[in-house]
A and B are shown apart, each in its own frame.
Chain A
Amino acid sequence: MNLHENSNEVTIILAEDDPGHAKLTEKNLRRAGINNEIQWCENGQLTLDYIQGKGAFSGHSHTKSVILLLDLNMPVLDGYQVLEALKSDESTKRIPIVILTTTDEPREVKRCYDLGCNIYINKPVDYEGFSNAIRQLGLFLNVVQVPNGK
């Protein structure tokens, strides 16, 4: 089962504190032909709440058929804390996590992979690069297998 065939079944969670970045990411994913639902969470705490069904999203957990696009630098809880929390929890550790951040520090990259991230993508400053990266991510997401919990 993949995203393309089950496009309506997989939700893309976008954890991003900058609304501009979120908008740009969404637009470019759409241009790449991604029609899946995109859930925008503007900080780490909201992201965890959405996935685990707590706080504002009390009662509805989203641990199955989701992909998380995670920014590292966020208020309240940052990307590392979210990554660590998800990967250390049995119910959420199989969620594919794509780190999408402006930092390309090798130390940070290594740390994220150590914590169990699946892909690390750098957000280039120039628009062409950015939209290319996002579109390619979209193409990639089209063929990725996501555990659906069945």
Chain B
Amino acid sequence: MNIRNHLSIRYRLLLLIILTLMSVVLLISYFTYQQFKQTISSQAVNHLKTIRDFRIHDLREALKKIPNDLNFLSQQPTIKLALRSFDPRDFDRGISAKSHIKATQLLAHYLSYYQEKSRFYDMFLISPGGDIFYSVRKESDLGTNLITGPNRESELANVFRRARFMLQEQTSEIAFYKPSGEAAIFLVAPVFEQNNIIGYLALQMDMSFLNQTVSLNRLLKSGEVITAISSGNKLLIVAPLRNHRLAAMKMTLSKRSNTGAALLKALQGEDGNSLLIDYRNIAVEAAWGYIPELKIALMVKIDSDELMAEVYALQRTIIIIVAIILLLSLIVVSYISRSITRPIEQLKKSVVSLVSGSFAGRCTIDATDEVGELAKAFNTMVDNIESYNRQINDQNSQLKHYGNELEKRVEERTATLAAANEDIKSFAYIVSHDLRSPLVNMKGFTGELDYVLRDISVKVKAFHENFNETDLQNIQQLIDDDIPEAMHFITTAVDKMDHMLSSILTLSRIGRRELHIEPVDLQLLCSDILTSFAFQLQQNHTKTVMGELPVILNDRIVIEQIMGNLIGNAVKYLDPEREGFIAIGAKVSDHGITISVEDNGFGILPQEADKVFLIFRRGIHQQVQGEGMGLAYVQTLVRNQGGSIKFSPAPQFGTIFTAFLPLQVQENSF
């Protein structure tokens, strides 16, 4: 699944910028941090190295002075005088020995001066046999022999033996000296007089110089100087430690420990520096070196934490700065990305509302950038779509309107066609039935004539042979009755057929006739027709009523035919048993004129109703002359100009025929 596609543009933008920014900031801060750290640590190391070098230098400078002092003293006549005053007989009496008292008298002001100047702890005068007969501090070693006495194993005894053997000054290694109760270094020089050794001068160095070496000057809070000598398979701490005041000459370190290994390297003469774990198990930055005169390893170390405190502080500062930068950039980027995506969001909303079918939404982005142009284009597009839509809707409703009108017209036409179809059907039926009827007669009676002639022929043959009265009578009957009868039927049938055909012809002619429109005075026309029936009307004592009949625009001949047939039928079917009544009326409307003819005659029975307008069909009153053509004509004429005709029973007796004729327009007005 691709997450990118599920995040909105805004968050994608946000994420991208934040990631880029973050990686840049982190990279920069990381490299800065690394650079700083390296600088700081190299500075620290240099610092340590400098301290180490200074300490070692100071120590060695201090050590250099002492032999000079020793040499100088050993040349002094006073020292020689004091040595010559040695009396082996009572030296073991210590301070009360004569030689001690003598030396003290001789040396008092010297020694106080040198003790101060050369910083030695003690001075010894030793006989050539190793008897210590004078010391400044008068410790327990005074009055003892270095060869045989209790201190014969001490470093003083060792260095004395070396000096006696080598006949020159010697310096001892640093070691614990029991009579002083602390570490000590001794220098012993033979004193000559006229090439004879008259005794030995020994100095015990003031160990406070070591304390100066391990002083805390320039060592920050956690700085520490370790001084150590090799002691068997261990390392012995010489001077007190900052964190271990009582460590001097007591505390040992394993040579295999981290610090021990570094100190061992120093004892082998190698300078160096490194990150170490010290005796307290704490990480320290350390630099070490060697003091060959004393065979001492010296190490300056500072806790890493303190050294790197600045680095850690920087680290924290960087983290805070990065966090602040990220926060600020988050806010800024969020604002920027929103300003970029807000128009897109708006556009999106507009598009969505358009998709859901609403044209109300427009993009109201006031910008000139790409999104602004897009919004403008979108608005134009929506406007276009809306106007197209409106056009389509208008056209649709117009089409619908046309469709409805068309449907209405089709319905009208269909009704007309259905009526016409019905006409054709009944016409076909009538033609097939009624016109066959006379043919049956013609064929039938021609056949009858054939019979008659065959009979006559047979009878005429027999006439020659045996003629009798009955045959004559038969022949006479054939000639007088049968033949004329057949002839009569044939003639009648032919006449009837001829009549029917001419009627059909007339009907089809009037159906196709073109109208000649002219003003027709209906009043005048109807009264003329009534006048032509004057005799019949008078016979039936008929009352005629005529309404206000207008002058209409129509075909005069057509109107004469229609009114003539309607009025003629009204007159013909009057009931002779009551006084006649005929009323003619007209009603003009916007669309045309409705003409009515009412009578009080026989009327039309319900079972005859559907045959009234059919050709050759006649009603129940067969005694009335007629061919069954009149109403068929009228209907054809009325329909020919788009009108209609119907009938209904009159209130009491008789029938009302109502013909509707649509308004005609005159072709040429004068």
Interface residues of A (CB under 8 A from B): 18-21, 23-24, 27, 43, 45, 72-73, 75-77, 81, 101-103, 105, 123, 125-128, 130-131
Contact = CB atoms under 8 A, between A and B. Distances in A.
Interface string B438-474: 1111011111100000000000000000000000000
Given A20-B440, A125-B443, A103 B432 contact: yes
B582 to A, nearest CB: 25
B619 to A, nearest CB: 8
Given A27-B448, A125-B443, A18 B437 contact: yes
Interface of B is mostly: helix
A81 B607 CA distance: 9
A73 B445 CA distance: 21
Contact of A73 (B434, B444, B448, B620): B434
26 contacts: A18-B438, A20-B489, A20-B492, A21-B437, A21-B440, A21-B444, A23-B485, A23-B489, A24-B440, A24-B445, A73-B434, A75-B617, A75-B619, A76-B619, A77-B607, A101-B433, A102-B433, A102-B440, A103-B432, A105-B429, A123-B440, A125-B436, A125-B439, A127-B446, A130-B444, A130-B447
Contact of A20 (B432, B433, B436, B444): B444
A75 B622 contact: yes
Contacts of A130: 440, 443-444, 447
A125 B442 CA distance: 9
Interface of B: 429, 432-434, 436-441, 443-448, 485, 489, 492-493, 607, 617-620, 622
Contact of B433 (A21, A24, A73, A126): A73
A20 B607 CA distance: 27
A24 B441 contact: yes
Nearest to B618: A75
Contact of B447 (A81, A123, A131): A131
Contacts of B492: 20
A103 B429 contact: yes
Contact of B448 (A24, A75, A77): A24
B443 A127 contact: yes
Contacts of A43: 622
Contacts of A103: 429, 432-433
B89 to A, nearest CB: 188
A37 B626 CA distance: 33
A22 B40 CA distance: 150
A102 B434 CA distance: 8
Nearest to B444: A24
Contacts of A128: 447
B620 A75 contact: yes
Nearest to A23: B489
A102 B447 contact: no
Nearest to B492: A20
A76 to B, nearest CB: 5
Given A75-B622, A127-B446, A102 B429 contact: no
Contacts of A21: 437, 440-441, 444
A123 B432 CA distance: 12
A101 B617 CA distance: 17
User: Which of B433, B485, B620, B622: most chain A CB closer than 10 A?
Assistant: B433
